[in-house]
Every structure is written in C-alpha cells, then in structure tokens.
Amino acid sequence: MDYFLQQLINGVTLGSIYGLIAIGYTMVYGIIGMINFAHGEVFMIGSFIALTVFLILAAVGITFLPIVLLLMVVVAMLFTSLWGWSIERIAYRPLRGSFRLAPLITAIGMSIFLQNFVQVSQGARVKPMASQIQGSIAITDSVQISYMQITIIATTIVLMIAFSTLISKTPLGRQQRACEQDAKMASLLGVNVDRTISLTFVMGASLAAVAGTMYLLYYGVIDFYIGFLAGVKAFTAAVLGGIGSLPGAMLGGLAIGLIETFWSGYFSVEYKDVAAFSILAITLIFLPSGLLGRPEVEKV
C-alpha cells in the first residue's frame, strides 16, 4: 500500500506538468481548430530561459531562493509569451484562411525550427541544475512527498482555477468563447478576433513556461529534445481529456502521468509510453470526444 501511495504522488506530480502543457494545446484548438505542434518547443524554451535566469542571478550573487524562483518563472513567462505571439503572428495568421492542412504543416515546421535553433544556440548536451527546493514531508514511514512536488501540484491547482475563472468570468474569456463558436459572427459583433487569438497563444505559452520551469526544478536536467517528448504526451493528454476542454486537459494530463508512473513502477519502464498511448486508443474507441469533450456539431 505504501508503494502504491508513493507512485500515486509521483504520478500526480508528473501529470500536473503534462496538464499545464495540455491546456495550451486545448485553448488554441478550442478557438481556431488548429493543433499547435510547436507548443512543446515553447515549453522547452521556457525551461532554457528559466535556467539562464538562474545562472545569471547566481553570477551576480542573488541567491535568496524565493526571489530567484519568482524571477525564473516571471522572466520565462514573459519571453515565452513573446515567442508564442511571434509564432502566431508570423507562422499561423497568414494561413488561417487556407486549407486546414497548411497550418498543420507550418506547425510541424515551426517545431523543427525551434528545436534546431535551441540545439545550435545552446548545444546538444544536457544542461544540469542542482536541486533548489529540498526536503520532504513523511506521510508514513516509507511514503514521502517532497516540497518540490507540493510546489508543482499547488501551482497547477492555482493556475487551473485562475485560467478557468478568466475564461468563464472575464470579457476576454467571453471573446474567446465567442470566437470558438463562430469567429466570423464574433468579428461582426465587434470582437477583435486577431487580438483574441494572439492573446490565447500568449496565455498558452505562459503556462508552458511555468511547466518548463517546474520540469527543470523537478528533474534538474534539460536538453533541446524535451519539448518533443513532453509535447506529444501533453497533446495525448488533451485528446484523452477532450480537446477544447480545460478541465479535460488537466484530467488527461493527470491520467497520462498516473499511467506512466504506475506502469513504470509495477511493470516495465521501457513500455510506459506504449501503455499510455494504448489507453488513449482504447478510451477514444468508446469515448471519441474524450473524457470531458463535447461532440462537435457541424454547422449547416
């Protein structure tokens, strides 16, 4: 039982990171119906920016941990938000009215470009960072939850509540939901569709930056390839939970994290990805819209 509880804690922690990335996928798809395959690379860039900020602060002698962590997150969010806005403005907006396959190809191309850009500029070797948030709380004699895990889970809960409230209660959220239902009609009614879509990319990128910072602090090592792996799994989480649903994206992230962790703990770590994608396939056979997704109604 203790081993099960420990794996449960580990799975929820990993799933929280996947969920934060998956929200970015589902927000973009919910409004413009396009999968932003470069979102995983934005997550990777966020982790590199956070590491760069940490090294700069250490070089100038700023070591007070709360200030360091706050600056890492804030600067990473600012720069990745700029990346998200630039990607939408340069790569996706000109193709918004074209056939649906063109933005998808562009998204894959942008993903490869960002991955290689970081590889060339930062090097292909892994970048380590010593653990910054140490210590843990003993739940039982053999079950512990670290302060880092508590930080990740608490941050995810706060951001999930904040973004859900923003989308359901604020004017920007109403504009996003209007664009999701009918972008042309929303434009006729005075909604700035271009600005709304750009802000959606910015919001998704900022969440990816938080996830990238948490990933760096939790695992202590990053490289240029982490965006691809995490992006694919986060996209899987968004589809599993129901693409277009924020709670579904978080639920899907938790599900993927738990599946990976329990499969690695009880069976074989080499087949944890096979298990996750198999569960996705089985779920979509019986629930084609995902766990919390709504069936898409075709307008006629």
Helix (H) or strand (E) holding 288: none
For residue 288, being part of any structural domain is answered with no
For residue 212, being part of any structural domain is answered with yes
Q: How far apart are the first and last CA of the chain?
A: 54
For residue 287, being part of any structural domain is answered with no
Sequence-distant (6+) residues with CB within 8 A of 190 are: none
The pLDDT assigned to 152 comes to 93
Is 298 a residue whose pLDDT tops 70?
no
- Amino acid at residue number 264: S
For residue 235, being part of any structural domain is answered with no
74-113 per-position pLDDT tens digit: 999 999 999 999 988 888 888 877 777 787 888 889 999 9
Give the whole-angstrom CA distance, residue 226 versus residue 204: 18
SS3 assignment, position 222: strand
For residue 249, being part of any structural domain is answered with no
Sequence-distant (6+) residues with CB within 8 A of 235 are: 22, 25, 35, 37, 39, 40
The pLDDT assigned to 215 comes to 94
Is 296 a residue whose pLDDT tops 70?
no
For residue 242, being part of any structural domain is answered with no
β-bridge partners, 128: 221
SS3 assignment, position 111: helix
What's the whole-number mean pLDDT along residues 224-250?
87
Kindly report the backbone phi and psi dihedral angles of residue 4, in degrees, each rounded to the nearest multiple of 5, phi listed first.
Answer: -60, -45
For residue 74, being part of any structural domain is answered with yes
Helix (H) or strand (E) holding 127: strand 127-128
Closest C-alpha among 216, 167, 282, 250 to residue 50: 216
Give the whole-angstrom CA distance, residue 106 versus residue 36: 9
**Residue bearing tokens 């802000």:** 199
Share of the chain above pLDDT 70, in %: 97
When the pLDDT of each residue in the chain is averaged and rounded to a whole number, the result is: 88
Domain count, the chain: 1
Which structural domain, as residue segments, surrounds residue 199? 20-225
Q: Which residue has the higher pLDDT, 279 or 33?
A: 279
Q: Which residue has the higher pLDDT, 82 or 2?
A: 82
**Residue bearing tokens 């089985």:** 282
For residue 79, being part of any structural domain is answered with yes
SS3 assignment, position 221: strand
